[in-house]
Amino acid sequence: RICVITLAEAHPLLQSGKTITNINYQISANCSRLQNKVSGKSKRGAQFLTELAPLCRISSSDGEEYTIYSCIRGRLIEVNENILSNPALLQEKPSTEGYIAVVLPKFEESKSITQGLLTQKEYKEVLMKRRSSAS
């Protein structure tokens, strides 16, 4: 029932050979995802995220900055602090050690969320269509 937020394999940071220079979980003056303190079975204290809630900002060596959004409603269980000291994990192991965050959707919503996700095969087909329409 948990959702692990990672960079999609089609994300520009993973495609263009860019170097990640900085990851910032400070969303605004009053909101840092690093201040998220979760305790207990009911995950008290977890920040609640909407689909459009920013999780972090990633800067690359060419000056580009990418805001990574939650894309899922739920409680922020954990952010990956390891990528702060080793940003290369995002590019080297994006779907394992280079994850961005873990989000726990509401139990009632978890089924509809998972039904709306693409399978690996469907995702590959979307990417193929996107590439063919771009060229």
Cα distance between residue 11 and residue 52, in whole Å: 17
Position 95 confidence tier, pLDDT thresholds 50, 70, 90? confident
Q: Quick one: which of 126, 77, 128 has its CA closest to 104? A: 77
Question: Which CATH class, in words, describes the domain spanning 3-134?
Answer: mainly beta
Q: Which residue in 61, 58, 44 sits closest to 5, CA to CA?
A: 58
Question: Which residue type, as a one-letter code, is found at position 29?
Answer: A
- Contact yes or no for 92/20 (Cβ under 8 A): no
pTM of the model: 0.85
Which of 15-24, 64-73, 123-132 is the most confident on average?
64-73
Domain boundaries, the chain: 3-134
Whole-number Å distance between alpha carbons of 54 and 57: 8
Residue 110: CB atoms within 10 A of its CB come to: 16
Residue pair 31/111 in contact by the 8 Å Cβ criterion:
no
pLDDT at 134 over 80: no
Q: Using the predicted structure, report yes or no on whether residue 102 has a pLDDT greater than 90.
A: yes
Per-residue pLDDT tens for 41-87?
878 889 999 999 999 999 998 889 999 999 889 999 999 999 999 99
CA angle centred on 115, ends 124 and 79, rounded to 5°: 80
Q: 5: exposed, middle or buried (C-beta count within 10 Å: 0-12, 13-18, 19+)?
A: buried
